[in-house]
Chain A
């Protein structure tokens, strides 16, 4: 088979193929009814190929957008779950709340803990709150005052606050802030000690 093709048609086809190779699938080979030769099928075939590529790209873009939206939704759900798990306030006895903290406490988390805890204290008319710091490795420098303010706020709501599981490093932070004097903080070694202390106060334990 021998076909004579005008150089311009070949150039045009090559330009479009090069554009497609760089990701531009929007161009099309101009087709002329009068070009009634075998090369017309090649030109049309390239156009069909470009249409397929454009469709594939549109589908891929759409799937990427869906995946991004799903990832955003999952991140939001995860954030909500982490928030819920980071403030596990437990009613261990009528009027007694316990908050075992785990991990690093920064300003944002301290603010969240304060909000949740004060709401629970008010809602349940708690008389005692035990904050267990056994699982807290570090408290950010500016966060300790916030936690101590929370302790004072709990006191203003009429509840007593006990801290347990204080590490040496955290103890030093509290002392450095001079919180011992005014704040109604009672520290005990373990959560179980605090619970026994509270229950004894409430007269729940005999002997």
Chain B
């Protein structure tokens, strides 16, 4: 599965969902992801750790962009390609609650600062 979910708590005690992302992401994967974040995880803070080599299909990208009303989302990746892909997607999404980091510690600090 390209997405693996964990329900954790930030250092300041705020609950968040950590998502491990890797591999090729299909429309079905994106649908499952969106269903979770419009359902049980609605409004939750998210920390996604995206592995190098992760690829989003065109349909998956579009579906992920259709998700509105999401909580603050920090993505951690060391891959320039993944960062470029996420930057492109967030340009379309036009959301201010999304940031990409190379370092997980910084990502967690930013996430913990965000209002619920």
Contact = CB atoms under 8 A, between A and B. Distances in A.
Interface of A: 31, 33-36, 40-41, 44-45, 48, 51-52, 55
Contacts of B95: none
A45 B85 CA distance: 8
Interface of B: 52, 58-59, 61, 79-81, 84-85, 87-88
Contacts of A44: 81, 84-85, 88
A162 B88 CA distance: 82
Given A33-B52, A48-B88, A40 B58 contact: no
Contacts of A51: 58
B62 to A, nearest CB: 9
A41 B88 contact: yes
B79 A52 contact: no
Given A33-B52, A35-B80, A41 B61 contact: no
Contacts of A31: 81
Contacts, number: 26
A41 B58 contact: no
Contacts of A41: 84, 87-88
26 contacts: A31-B81, A33-B52, A33-B79, A33-B80, A33-B81, A34-B80, A35-B80, A36-B80, A40-B80, A40-B81, A40-B84, A41-B84, A41-B87, A41-B88, A44-B81, A44-B84, A44-B85, A44-B88, A45-B88, A48-B58, A48-B61, A48-B88, A51-B58, A52-B58, A55-B58, A55-B59
Contacts of A35: 80
A40 to B, nearest CB: 5
Contacts of B58: 48, 51-52, 55
Contacts of B81: 31, 33, 40, 44
Nearest to B79: A33
B91 to A, nearest CB: 9
A34 B84 CA distance: 12
Among B79, B84, B85, chain A packs the most CB atoms within 10 A around the CB of B84
Residue of B52, B58, B59, B61 with highest tally of chain A CB at under 10 A: B58
Given A44-B81, A55-B58, 4 more contacts: A41-B84, A48-B58, A51-B58, A52-B58
A41 B87 CA distance: 8
Nearest to B53: A33
B17 to A, nearest CB: 27
A52 B85 CA distance: 15
A194 B84 CA distance: 88
Q: Which 8 A/B pairs are nearest by Cβ-Cβ distance?
A: A36-B80, A51-B58, A41-B84, A40-B84, A44-B84, A33-B80, A45-B88, A33-B81
